[in-house]
Amino acid sequence: MSADRLAQARAWLRQDPDHETRDELAGLITRAASGDENAVAELDDRFGSRLAFGTAGLRGELGAGSNRMNRVLVAQAAAGFAAYLREKSPDRAPTVVIGYDGRRNSRVFATDSAEIFAGAGLRAVLLPRLLPTPVLAFAVRHLQADAGVMVTASHNPPNDNGYKVYLGGADAGSQIVAPADAEIAAHIEKVADAGDVGALPRSASYETAGEDVVSAYIEATAAVAPAPSSASGLRWVYTAMHGVGWETLSRIVERAGYPQPMVVGEQLSPDATFRTVAFPNPEEPGAMDLAFAKARRVQADFILANDPDADRLAVAIPDPSADGGWRRLTGNEVGLLLGARAARAAQGTPGAALACSLVSSPGLGAIAAHHGLDFHETLTGFKWISRAPGIVFGYEEALGYLVNPGTVRDKDGISAAVAVLGLAAEARDRGVGIADLLDELGETYGHFASGQVSIRVDDVSIIADVMLSLRTLPPTMIGAHPIGAAEDLLNAAPGAPTGDVLRYRLADGARVIVRPSGTEPKLKVYIDAKAESAERARETVAELDTGVRALLAERS
């Protein structure tokens, strides 16, 4: 154990205001100093680097150390962000809004941030209670704030938390992008280098927002799709996935005029342990099993599920061919349904555009072309999608949808739920269901199918090794499908999205994209195909899925 690492850990311990992480770190230091190799390795992991600003801020495992989420790191982040905002507005006091969800330490991190923002001379406004991320994104615009912070780790594992940052003004309430992320990170580094966070000025003079902010969000979101008369017969199931979505959604459903859902009671209230799921993400296997069981019992027409901070939405429908009789729609299927809805409403509007991430279905481009709208393909993440010129709708395949860009410039699982309720009610009026709407999409815009291969790793270096292997020895086939063209987006043309992404265009028109996840230790592969029929498109995706898994096994 190096003396420098021990000194670094002890310096951190002295400034830590949290007795839980302080006790945890003190024990590690004692064991490491006595030569315990596991403790030495643990200290190296915790202090060998800092959590860096990634996808819209910070996200990581709770615990002591610069490479964990904790009160010291959050205090440094808040002070650094405050310095950035003061630098950008030297002649006035910037306004920053802070929200938080139901995860461990979310309220503590939010309160620490509010006190530090106020102590730095900012106008700090703390949302009145734990609320969904979209309410915070809405509040940044609604209050004409300079910035917003949401304390959440979204759908990450239970022991994670995060710090998502938004900018107002010219950024219109979108998440941060370059160069702001690097500039904020530099200010945070200065705070960290200065030493004791206990010396940072704090103030209890921050404001607590009134319920009028939440009510304004409810009114705006209910207006996304007011219920038609046919909505009264809808039978649907809802799960909040142990998160914060239910209270807000139920009020919006009532305001918009839809029947209340039959709920998955075990997952309805906020629970930081997420006790019924291995991962609180509707995309993960097993996460929606309780919802499926409920839907079978009550013979529901469909299921809606939010992730824990309610910025994502999952939709499931009855399917006799699926195990258990229900299947979750892919993010692309829901995205195309909602994209077509938006395109029909925007047709004829000059400059109106649809947007999606480059790993989402090319079907959205076909919808835009059909209705004479502009189309933008962006890097992954709503910090990019929300900035697309003329956007009236945007989505990414990871269950994120932006349906009301005039009020929320981020993915919003609650407004998306209202839009789906509107589609379901209109379909019911015609005597059809959501499955029929998907068939109609294929008949109108072409038959698209998509799939995904996601490899979770314990050692993230494996992901870098696989990406290097694919670049060094580019494949010529994926299964039995020849690769027609390969693109490395690290070397993209000027004006095109750039990033650690490999895109393969196959000779038959299909597409395969490989990239590391921006928020989790995963390598993600996206498969898209278009064919003369829905069945053939699905067959192509299945063939490519097999080929991708074989390729990754060979390169791992």
Res. 532: pLDDT tops 80: yes
Residue 230 — φ and ψ, nearest 5°?
A: -70, -10
pLDDT at 54: 60
Q: What percent of the chain has pLDDT over 90?
A: 91
Mean local confidence (pLDDT), 249-263: 98
* 512 & 464 share domain: yes
* 188 & 233 share domain: no
pLDDT at 411: 97
Domain limit, last residue, from 445, 473, 504: 445
pLDDT at 171: 94
In this structure, are residues 154 and 100 in contact, taking their beta carbons and an 8 Å threshold?
Answer: no
Res. 72: pLDDT tops 80: yes
* 328 & 385 share domain: yes
**Amino acid letter, residue 139:** A
Q: Following DSSP, what letter does each residue of 539-551 receive, concatenated?
A: HHHHHHHHHHHHH
Among residues 53, 55, 50, the alpha carbon closest in space to that of 522 is found at: 55
Among residues 510, 513, 516, the alpha carbon closest in space to that of 468 is found at: 516
Domain limit, last residue, from 445, 478, 495: 445
Which domain does 41 fall in, by range? 1-48
268 located within any domain: yes
Res. 55: pLDDT tops 60: no
pLDDT at 518: 74
479-495 pLDDT per residue, tens: 999 999 999 999 877 77
CATH number at residue 323: 3.40.120.10
Res. 270: pLDDT tops 70: yes
pLDDT at 11: 95
CATH number at residue 506: 3.30.310.50
Distance between CA atoms of 130 and 166, rounded to whole angstroms?
18
My answer on whether omega of the bond before 157 falls inside 30° of 0, hence cis, is no
Mean local confidence (pLDDT), 232-248: 97
* 281 & 383 share domain: yes
pTM summary value: 0.94
Domain limit, last residue, from 419, 445, 471: 445
Q: Which secondary structure element, helix H or strand E, spans residue 306, and what is its range?
A: strand 302-306
Pick 498 or 330 by higher pLDDT: 330
Mean local confidence (pLDDT), 434-448: 97
Res. 359: pLDDT tops 70: yes
Res. 192: pLDDT tops 80: yes
CA distances from 499 to 195, 237, 516 (A): 34, 39, 10
297 located within any domain: yes
* 93 & 33 share domain: no
* 11 & 96 share domain: no
Structure token digits, residue 464: 């870098």
pLDDT at 50: 92
Q: How many domains does the chain have?
A: 4
Mean local confidence (pLDDT), 242-246: 98
Res. 178: pLDDT tops 90: no
Res. 56: pLDDT tops 80: no
* 333 & 440 share domain: yes
Structure token digits, residue 222: 């209910």
3-class DSSP state for residue 329?
Answer: coil
Res. 292: pLDDT tops 70: yes
Least confident among 93-102, 408-417, 448-457? 448-457
pLDDT at 420: 98
Q: Tokens 């490899």 — which residue? A: 455
pLDDT at 161: 97
- Band of pLDDT at residue 460, cut at 50, 70 and 90: confident
335-357 pLDDT per residue, tens: 999 999 999 999 999 999 999 99
* CA 388 to chain CA mean position, Å: 18
Res. 39: pLDDT tops 70: yes
pLDDT at 520: 77
pLDDT at 282: 95
- Band of pLDDT at residue 542, cut at 50, 70 and 90: very high
Cα within 13 Å of Cα(58), Cβ side: 30
3-class DSSP state for residue 334?
Answer: helix
Q: Which of 106, 113, 154, 360 is catalytic?
A: 154
The rounded mean pLDDT for the chain is 95
202 located within any domain: no
Structure token digits, residue 93: 């006091």
112-144 pLDDT per residue, tens: 999 999 999 999 999 999 999 999 999 999 999
Rounded to 10°, the helix 133-142/413-429 angle is 100
Residue 532 — φ and ψ, nearest 5°?
A: -75, -15
Rounded to 10°, the helix 37-47/3-15 angle is 60
Q: Tokens 């909040």 — which residue? A: 240
Q: Which residues contact 30 (CB under 8 A, 6 or more apart)?
A: none
Mean local confidence (pLDDT), 360-372: 97
Distance between CA atoms of 187 and 102, rounded to whole angstroms?
28
Res. 84: pLDDT tops 70: yes
Among residues 10, 76, 73, 414, the alpha carbon closest in space to that of 217 is found at: 414
205 located within any domain: no
300 located within any domain: yes
204 located within any domain: no
Res. 521: pLDDT tops 90: no
* 79 & 15 share domain: no
Res. 472: pLDDT tops 90: yes
In this structure, are residues 186 and 129 in contact, taking their beta carbons and an 8 Å threshold?
Answer: no
Whether 154 is catalytic is yes
Q: Tokens 């998502």 — which residue? A: 164
* 368 & 513 share domain: no
Q: What residues form DSSP beta bridges with 454?
A: 524
* 426 & 299 share domain: yes
* 539 & 462 share domain: yes
* 62 & 18 share domain: no
pLDDT at 497: 77
Distance between CA atoms of 512 and 510, rounded to whole angstroms?
7
* Buried/exposed 520-548: b ≥16 CB within 10 Å, e otherwise: beebbbbbbbbbeebeebbebbebbbebb
Mean local confidence (pLDDT), 4-11: 94
Mean local confidence (pLDDT), 512-517: 94
Q: Tokens 């106020």 — which residue? A: 118
Among residues 350, 307, 308, 298, the alpha carbon closest in space to that of 331 is found at: 307
pLDDT at 1: 61
424 located within any domain: yes
203 located within any domain: no
